[in-house]
A and B are shown apart, each in its own frame.
Chain A
Amino acid sequence: MIDFQNLTVGYQSALVSFSDMKLNKGAIYALIGRNGIGKSTFLKTITGQLKPVNGTIQLNDRLISDITFGEIPKFISYVESRFPLVEFLSVYDYIALGRSPYTNLLGKLKEEDRALIQKTIDQLNIGHLSRRFTSELSDGERQLISIAKAVVQQTDLIVLDEPTAFLDYANKEEVLSQLQQIAVNMEKCIIVATHDIDLVLDKTIQFILIDETEKTGKLYPSATKNEIISTCFKSIQL
């Protein structure tokens, strides 16, 4: 699904290097590392906003660097940690923006677009929100509709930057449970940058851990809390 070969990310100079790895559909990958280590840089590189300092990323056997700017949203959807504050934006219209890479110049939705949006709303159990304004929602509800927008974008890869950062425990669990169902039932590859270590432990989630001292990232099919801390947070070990 997505192949990383000899990858180094950064702005002008190298920030983090990654071991070669392949991420598959139907799975969630938790990206964990210290603040400022390069998680967001990695996500920006995957989403085509930054060029790799070195190496390649292949998505479905196609180099990301070869995918044109306009095509990227048909391959990768991205969920920001901060929800945009906009007045008079209805939940339905917000989710419908996920279809914009497929709509005509005027952004008109076709019947099949509406059907997909409604199906996604039903699958995520957010029908009761669809006629409300996004400005009226709680943080947890906002994350769910952001995920719905990413789902209607119909991409194989969904990337989320700290989706549980501002949520209480119940909402964190709800968001993660929805993501797990989406990954398995809709055959998506989901990458989640997170600091909620306890939340992602003991679940069918794999890990991309960024070593704090070596500045290297590596895929771990499973990991314990101690392993995560000893890799990502070496400096706080007693």
Chain B
Amino acid sequence: MSISKRHTIIILVLLLLLPIIALVHLFAGQINIDGSDYLSSIFSYDSTDSYQIIAREIRIPRMIMAIIAGAGLSIAGLLMQTLFNNPLAGPYVLGINSGASLFVAFSIMTGIPFFTSTLGITANALIGAFVFGMIILFFSRFLRSQVSLLLVGLMLGSFTGALVSLTQTISEADELKVFTLWALGSLQKVEFGQILPIFSVFFTGIILVAFTSKSLNILVLGEENARLLGVNIKKARLFIIILTALFTGLITAFCGPIAFIGLAVPNLVRMIFKTQSHLTLLISCALTGAIFILLCDICIQLIEPHFMIPINVFTSIVGAPFVVFIILKKLR
């Protein structure tokens, strides 16, 4: 079987699995909701029917946000890994999530109505992610080793963590509560009415990211080779950082920080597909990331009757051992 045929088959399997797992996710909660309630909640919504309310305001947004978060963070991780030629890079490890978190903390703690609104938090998360993306890009110009870049990312994370703690100590109790709940990370914060605008931004990012695939394919050869094959390195870098910030900022604003997806999924996908064709990798990362978070969230819903686990905690429990496995594999 040719390589491209094998890739097509795996992608088709993932495409088939995604809606099945999404459906399982919809029906995994504690309260049994029929398929007809889901259909009614969308096409003939009755705001007095508690089953339809749960379906429309909790289950559907949670499922869609799981897909968006998984796909977006995995793509952001792949972009970072190729841009920095570092398989251990990712928006969380390099401090881009931390940048978004810091700006959201500032946003919430100001207490100014606009900044505490959804739009204000989203805008600040996007700006924070972009600013920290540019900072890590700036440092990467002076660093030769892959480990140094990761250490700078770690330091950025610690630095922002300290600033966030400092902000918390001087903030009011109400604002502190809002921020603490946000920082736990959850797929449940989004309302039905917010899905369309969030999905529109996400979908625009997906379309734009497809057009980076050619540059990404060439960038794996290193910047000098890429330049000699006609890639405008400065523009490519900036475009990749903007897209990473878009995905990371959007998801961080609505779901809080979610760790390890951006690092683990692209590595898992590369191991399965064994290719450097970034169009294939981008599609597969989006599908695998979405399936991965849906599965994590199904587990969370099954455990929920006993105790609550934030999504960030669960992805860390699953993702961290996988990352250690990757490190051991690379070192051997």
Cβ-neighbour of A107 out of B217, B222, B227 (below 8 A) = B217
Chain A residues with Cβ below 8 Å from B276 are: 86, 88-90, 93
Q: Which of A84-104 contact B (CB under 8 A)?
A: 84, 86-90, 93, 97-98, 100-101, 103
Cβ-neighbour of B214 out of A49, A77, A84, A106 (below 8 A) = A106
B3: interface (CB < 8 Å): yes
B224 touches A70 (CB 8 A): no
B228 touches A78 (CB 8 A): yes
Q: Which of B164-178 contact A (CB under 8 A)?
A: none
Cβ-neighbour of B229 out of A71, A86, A97 (below 8 A) = A97
Chain A residues with Cβ below 8 Å from B210 are: 106
| B48 → chain A closest CB, angstroms | 49
Most buried by A among B211, B220, B270: B220
Give the tally of cross-chain contacts (CB within 8 A).
67
B270 touches A88 (CB 8 A): yes
A88 touches B274 (CB 8 A): yes
B220 touches A86 (CB 8 A): yes
Most buried by B among A76, A97, A103: A97
B220 touches A106 (CB 8 A): no
B277 touches A80 (CB 8 A): no
B194: interface (CB < 8 Å): no
B229 touches A100 (CB 8 A): yes
A52: interface (CB < 8 Å): no
| A31 → chain B closest CB, angstroms | 17
B225: interface (CB < 8 Å): yes
Chain A residues with Cβ below 8 Å from B224 are: 80
| B193 → chain A closest CB, angstroms | 34
Residue of A nearest to B221 (CB): A84
A-B contact pairs, 20 of them (CB 8 A): A49-B228, A73-B228, A78-B225, A84-B222, A84-B225, A88-B270, A88-B276, A90-B275, A90-B276, A97-B218, A97-B229, A100-B214, A100-B230, A101-B229, A105-B211, A105-B214, A106-B213, A107-B213, A107-B217, A131-B3
Q: A93-B277, A98-B229, A106-B279 are in contact. List 6 more A-B contacts (CB 8 A).
A: A77-B228, A88-B270, A100-B218, A105-B214, A107-B279, A131-B3
